[in-house]
Amino acid sequence: MRTDSGNELQVGVITQTHGIRGEVKVFPTTDDVNRFRKLKEVILDTGREKILLEIEGVKFFKQFVILKFRGYDSINDVEKYKQGKLLVTRDKAVKLQKDEYFVADMIGMHVVTDGGNDFGTLKEVLATGANDVYVVSREDGSEVLLPAIKECIKKVDMDSRVMEVHIMEGLL
């Protein structure tokens, strides 16, 4: 999940309208698309304003979620919201398991090697299917891709915002 502010987490992006009755096609940015079944409301961030929307209907189509918002009953009502981000507040976010973190909370973390050397800053997390990949920005401007696996990511300390990594042979 991505975030726009400290208390909101992004769960999807409206890609286009769906049909003529006010439904929208949403590209989910959450690990579990089934979470949309339980959501009663989302915050739409248009870039200019944030609007609280009540979810009236949820369907699934290929990799997309089709949402219907209460009070938005025609294509004209929702057309202007294409590319809008859908957010939830942290209290409505999924509960994390041990060693799980919201991507939004990890971005900007200081990355050090297991030898104690500064390595860089976590810039981005890529979801690849098999495992996430952490994009670490180095001081020289280069980027290093680190697989988010136990052999490589040794420790994540959310309180001090430091990630300890083991640089496996062949990664640099």
Spatial contact of 45 and 9, defined as CB atoms under 8 Å apart: no
Residue 2 has pLDDT above 60, yes or no: no
CATH code where residue 151 lies: 2.30.30.240
Please indicate, yes or no, if residue 170 is contained in any of the structural domains. Answer: no
Please indicate, yes or no, if residue 154 is contained in any of the structural domains. Answer: yes
Q: Are residues 81 and 6 in the same domain?
A: yes
Average pLDDT, the chain: 89
Q: How confident is the model at residue 4 (pLDDT cuts 50, 70, 90)?
A: very low
Q: Are residues 112 and 161 in the same domain?
A: yes
Q: What share of the chain has pLDDT > 70, as a percent?
A: 97
Residue 77 has pLDDT above 70, yes or no: yes
Q: Are residues 52 and 18 in the same domain?
A: yes
- Residue 87 belongs to domain spanning: 2-92
Give per-residue pLDDT as tens, 35-46. Answer: 899 899 999 999
Average of pLDDT values for 53-74?
A: 95
CA distances from 21 to 31, 53, 71, 145 (A): 28, 16, 11, 43
Q: Are residues 87 and 107 in the same domain?
A: no
Q: Which one-letter amino acid corresponds to residue 7?
A: N
Q: Are residues 84 and 29 in the same domain?
A: yes
Q: How many domains does the chain have?
A: 2
Residue 5 has pLDDT above 80, yes or no: no
Average of pLDDT values for 75-87?
A: 94
Domain end position, chosen among 92, 120, 140? 92
0.75 surpassed by pTM: no
CATH code where residue 71 lies: 2.40.30.60
Residue 32 has pLDDT above 90, yes or no: no
- Give which of 103, 96, 111 is closest to 153, Cα–Cα: 111
Give per-residue pLDDT as tens, 88-136. Answer: 988 877 777 777 788 888 889 999 999 999 999 999 888 777 788 999 9
Q: Are residues 31 and 61 in the same domain?
A: yes
Q: Are residues 30 and 64 in the same domain?
A: yes
